[in-house]
Amino acid sequence: MAPTARLAYVNLFARDIDKLSSFYSELFGFPEIVGHRSPIYRCLDAGGVEFGFNAELAYDLLGLSTRKPGAQKTISAYFTIEIASAAAVDALAARVVELGGKVVKPPYDTYYNARQAVLEDPEGNVFRINHRVGPRKAASEVEQPPWQPAS
């Protein structure tokens, strides 16, 4: 039986998303997925896994504000598991607590058209579970982008 979940994304927080994504692109030949680009994100196609680079604002968007560089307990990378349904995001977020993990940010709808939750495993490693609700929205299509102040 084939699994209903797959490793879909690996993300690094970066001081300079352009410079760091270019480094990996040039080193391994991973092309940029230009349609995923936003003012706070770059993404490379790493052969079936999306390799993302997040600017500092993403700490806040993911509910990880207290884990920025300089904090007592920091985070610089996380992975994302793509799952079969939006309902499964909610169910797995509840299950992670039963298994000894924590919910960092409860299930929510993202600005780029996904349902996801930010979680922590029993050893403190952060990961996301994600379900793509529909086609990914381009940064230019986002009505209230988190990288711009509310008007």
Residue 18 falls inside a structural domain = yes
pLDDT at 89 over 90: yes
> What's the domain range around 73?
6-134
Tell me, yes or no, whether 1 lies in a domain. no
pLDDT greater than 60 at residue 2: no
Model-level pTM? Answer: 0.76
* List of E strands, the chain: 6-13, 41-45, 50-54, 77-82, 102-109, 114-120, 126-132
Decide if 106 is inside a domain.
yes
Assess if residue 82 is contained within a domain.
yes
Q: How confident is the model at residue 143 (pLDDT cuts 50, 70, 90)?
A: confident
Number of domains composing the chain: 1
Q: What is the pLDDT of residues 68-77, one digit of tens each?
A: 988 888 888 9
